[in-house]
């Protein structure tokens, strides 16, 4: 019997409810996927709490989950490159229903999955892997010999960024908390800075012998953008992809203008901008990211819970008790 875990009302994790569903039918250009695993993301908890920005909150009941992996069950008209029974991974918009047995996903956002890759591992890749790859390669121009400062390096995106940056031949500096420093080192960081006990700006400049870094990846914002600008090398780029500490503080006059002669740039990255506006390029990059998974470059740290433990998964994520990625097994 098809089912899904729904948010029927906003509140604490215990508002999540498992309910029966009908199997959807794919329209032209879409793929119906029988999910075997779905990943848990902060956006799921934000929706559950009712804290989405004005105008962005989906209607309730809502099935969370914007990425997953499973088996192709049906194809809409015009879909090529897939067959019923294919193992696939996917990324979708809000409302894609990854916490359920079935999702209907537009074909450009589905990629074939190697037999050697299990569904739980595959479900952990699309959002984090694509976010990290897009920021490093498309926005940051990452090349061998460049350097990158990765904030929140022990998180899901941070882990993928460490793997990809090292694969590209970059020098990687990770910023994380004391208890996660060893983890960041294990994932490939050349240097680890404990932001709780060390001055990040000072340490970066010491590590780079005063040159600064070519790229920063920053989900924190708040006051940290100022320090990122301070540690950028000439022609460097700061990429913001989150606001864990609130909107960026400062002003153009006081901060960007201060570094005018370094010709630095600030980019803002929302992976769904790329998702919605460049589907063909997104599809090609997604295939590349899953090649990196198959060849062992990407080594996601996955903790798997049953779909019946979705509330516990939300609790752990909000409590900061995880490293890597939480995935729900739907089989």
Same domain, 144 and 59: no
**Distance (Å, whole) CA 66 – CA 325:** 14
Q: Are 300 and 122 in contact (CB under 8 A)?
A: no
Q: Which residues of 15-47 are buried (b: 16+ CB within 10 A; e: fewer)?
A: bbeeeeeeebebeeebbbbbbbbbbbbebbbbb
Same domain, 117 and 153: no
Virtual torsion, Cα 218, 223, 225, 228, nearest 10 deg: -90
Q: Judge whether 174 lies within some domain.
A: yes
Q: How many domains does the chain have?
A: 2
The residues facing 84 across adjacent strands are none
Q: Judge whether 51 lies within some domain.
A: yes
CATH code, 138 = 3.40.50.720
Residue numbers of the chain with a pLDDT score lower than 70: 323
Same domain, 250 and 200: yes
**Distance (Å, whole) CA 32 – CA 73:** 6
Per-residue pLDDT at 54: 85
Per-residue pLDDT at 251: 81
CATH code, 59 = 3.90.180.10
Q: Which tens digits make up the pLDDT trace of 261-313? A: 899 999 999 999 999 999 999 999 999 999 999 999 999 989 999 999 999 99
Q: Are 107 and 282 in contact (CB under 8 A)?
A: no
Q: Is the pTM of this model over 0.85?
A: yes
The residues facing 6 across adjacent strands are 17
Q: Give the containing element (helix H, strand E) for 70.
A: strand 67-75
Same domain, 132 and 267: yes
3-state SS assignment for residue 282: helix
Same domain, 20 and 63: yes
Q: Are 326 and 317 in contact (CB under 8 A)?
A: yes
Instruction: State which residues form the domain around 10.
Output: 3-124+300-329
Same domain, 139 and 203: yes
Per-residue pLDDT at 122: 98
Same domain, 104 and 137: no
**DSSP per residue, 111-152:** EE--TTS-HHHHHTSHHHHHHHHIIIIIIT---TT-EEEETT
Same domain, 28 and 45: yes
Q: Are 5 and 18 in contact (CB under 8 A)?
A: yes
């Amino acid at each position: 019997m098809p089912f899904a875990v729904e948010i029927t009302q906003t509140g604490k994790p215990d508002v999540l409810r498992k309910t029966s569903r009908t199997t959807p039918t794919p329209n032209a250009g879409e793929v119906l996927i029988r999910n075997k695993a779905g990943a848990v993301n902060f956006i799921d908890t934000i929706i559950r709490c009712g804290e989405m920005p004005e105008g962005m909150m989906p209607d309730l009941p809502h099935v969370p989950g914007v990425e997953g992996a499973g088996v192709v069950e049906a194809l809409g008209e015009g879909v090529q490159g897939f067959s019923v029974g294919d193992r696939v991974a996917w990324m979708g918009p809000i409302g894609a229903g990854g916490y359920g047995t079935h999702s209907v996903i537009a074909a450009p956002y589905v990629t074939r999955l190697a037999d050697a890759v299990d569904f739980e591992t595959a479900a952990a890749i699309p959002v984090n892997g694509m976010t990290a790859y897009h920021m490093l390669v498309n926005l940051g121009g990452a090349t061998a010999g460049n350097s990158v400062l990765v904030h929140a390096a022990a998180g899901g995106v941070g882990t993928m960024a460490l793997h990809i940056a090292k694969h590209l031949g970059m020098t990687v500096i990770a910023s994380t908390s004391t208890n996660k420093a060893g983890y960041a080192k294990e994932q490939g960081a050349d240097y680890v800075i404990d932001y709780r006990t060390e001055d990040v700006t000072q340490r970066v400049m010491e590590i780079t012998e005063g040159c600064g870094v070519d790229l920063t990846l920053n989900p924190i914002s708040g006051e940290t953008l100022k320090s990122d600008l301070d540690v950028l090398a000439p022609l460097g780029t700061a990429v913001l992809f989150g606001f864990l500490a609130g909107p960026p503080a400062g002003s153009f006059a006081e901060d960007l203008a201060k570094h005018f002669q370094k010709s630095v740039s600030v980019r803002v990255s929302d992976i769904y901008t790329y998702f919605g506006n460049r589907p063909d390029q997104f599809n090609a990059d997604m295939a590349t990211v899953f090649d990196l998974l198959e060849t062992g470059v990407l080594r996601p740290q996955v903790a798997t819970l049953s779909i019946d433990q979705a509330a516990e998964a939300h609790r752990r994520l909000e409590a900061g008790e995880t490293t890597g990625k939480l995935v729900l097994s739907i089989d």
